[in-house]
């Protein structure tokens, strides 16, 4: 559960500030859905993160809160908060970069397909290779995020404000982990990937809109490459184009939310630096 603030807290008045209560509400909602398994839920969670960090930014602008942070934060706690804000920025940057790389390759492949009115084996393979590069970068980022969490020695039991900010960091990282896994397509189990290939190719209408668009596009592209390699007539070009269009649309939705969130994370880090440098 998110931290509750009572009269015995030394850092806040006996009655919690409305912004504190709002932050707790956002945290609870995100905890309930941070293990997102659909793109629409991921978009919803990113919007939830935007609301949460907007609330945090407004909170730390309050003179009372700034004074409380200065009272609570010794050097080690200050380092924890600043390191945490940097971890969130790094995770957001990794997600943005993964989306941008996928989108650029997607658009190039779609342009090639339209221009040649069919398939281009080398371009299709190039896109598959680029997706492998994205997945490798994502796995590295996820590994670093796990290492950072294990190294954290911070466990305040009675420092209410610092506890709240660490709760914010934890739930934000959880959402980013789900997002990065989703972008990599790893939410689709290996044992069912070829089943997804078959489903998309033979009856694409049966694939629910809530499935992973990144995994769908990967599967459609894999079949597309196989059909070109075997020199069979490609009857799935239109389906591949449809999957790539869906992927681009979802990528843009996620990019828009992440860009706003990234700017908010930067503002919060700058605000924390200003508080502790004064």
Residue 141's closest CA among 100, 90, 179?
90
**Whole-number Cα distances in Å, 94 to 180, 185, 188, 200:** 8, 15, 20, 29
DSSP for 150-164, please give it.
Answer: HH-----SS-HHHHH
Distance, in Å, from the CA atom of 221 to the CA atom of 124, rounded to the nearest integer, reads: 7
According to DSSP, residue 80 is labeled: H
Of 203, 216, 231, 39, which is closest to residue 131 (Cα–Cα)?
A: 216
Q: Cβ distance 78 to 46 under 8 Å?
A: no
> Tell me, what's the pLDDT at 37?
67
Say how far apart CA 105 and CA 203 lie, in whole Å.
26
CA distance linking residue 91 with residue 262, whole number of Å: 10
DSSP per residue, the chain: ------TT-SSS-SSPPHHHHHHHHHHHHHHHH-S--SHHHHHHHHHHHHHHHHHHHHHHTSHHHHHHHHHH--HHHHHHHHHHHHHHHHHHHHHHHHHHHHHHHHHHHHHHHHHHTS--HHHHHHHHHHHHHHHHHHHHHHHHHHHHHHH-----SS-HHHHHHHHHHHHHHHHHHHHHHHHHTTTS-GGGHHHHHHHHHH-GGGS-TTS-HHHHHHHHHHHHHHHHHTT-----HHHHHHHHHHHHHHHHHHHHHHHHHHHHHHHHHHHHHHHHH-
Please check whether residue 247 is in contact with residue 107, taking contact to mean a CB–CB distance below 8 angstroms: no
Residue that is written with structure tokens 């809530």 in the block: 210
Q: How far apart are the first and last CA of the chain?
A: 33
What pTM value is reported for the model? 0.82
Tell me if residue 14 falls in helix, strand or coil.
coil
Going residue by residue through the chain (278 aa), what tens digit of pLDDT does each one get? 333 333 334 444 556 788 999 999 999 999 988 776 688 889 999 999 999 999 999 999 999 888 888 877 777 788 888 999 999 999 999 999 999 999 998 888 888 877 766 556 777 788 888 889 999 999 999 888 865 554 444 444 447 888 899 999 999 999 999 999 999 986 554 545 445 555 555 555 445 444 788 988 888 888 887 776 665 545 567 778 888 899 999 999 999 999 999 999 999 999 999 988 86
Which residue shows structure tokens 């998309």?
200
Please, what's the largest Cα pairwise distance for the chain? 74
């Amino acid at each position: 559960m998110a931290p509750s603030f009572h009269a015995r807290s030394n850092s806040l008045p006996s009655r919690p500030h409305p912004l504190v209560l709002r932050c707790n509400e956002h945290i609870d909602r995100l905890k309930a859905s941070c293990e997102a398994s659909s793109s629409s839920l991921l978009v919803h969670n990113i919007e939830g993160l935007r609301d949460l960090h907007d609330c945090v930014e407004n909170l730390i602008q309050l003179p009372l809160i700034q004074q409380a942070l200065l009272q609570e934060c010794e050097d080690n706690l200050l380092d924890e908060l600043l390191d945490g804000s940097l971890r969130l920025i790094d995770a957001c940057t990794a997600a943005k970069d993964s989306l941008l790389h996928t989108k650029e390759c997607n658009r190039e492949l779609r342009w090639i397909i339209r221009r040649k009115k069919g398939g281009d084996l080398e371009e299709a393979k190039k896109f598959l290779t680029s997706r492998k590069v994205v997945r490798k970068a994502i796995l590295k980022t996820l590994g670093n995020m796990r290492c950072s969490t294990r190294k954290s020695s911070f466990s305040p039991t009675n420092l209410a404000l610092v506890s709240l900010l660490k709760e914010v960091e934890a739930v934000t990282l959880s959402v980013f982990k789900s997002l990065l896994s989703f972008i990599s397509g790893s939410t689709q189990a290996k044992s069912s990937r070829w089943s997804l290939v078959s489903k998309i190719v033979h009856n694409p209408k049966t694939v629910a809109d809530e499935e992973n668009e990144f995994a769908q596009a990967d599967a459609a592209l894999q079949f597309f490459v196989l059909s070109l390699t075997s020199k069979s007539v490609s009857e799935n070009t239109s389906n591949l184009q449809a999957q790539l269009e869906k992927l681009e649309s979802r990528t843009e939705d996620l990019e828009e939310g992440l860009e706003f969130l990234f700017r908010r994370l930067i503002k919060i880090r700058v605000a924390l630096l200003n508080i502790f440098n004064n």
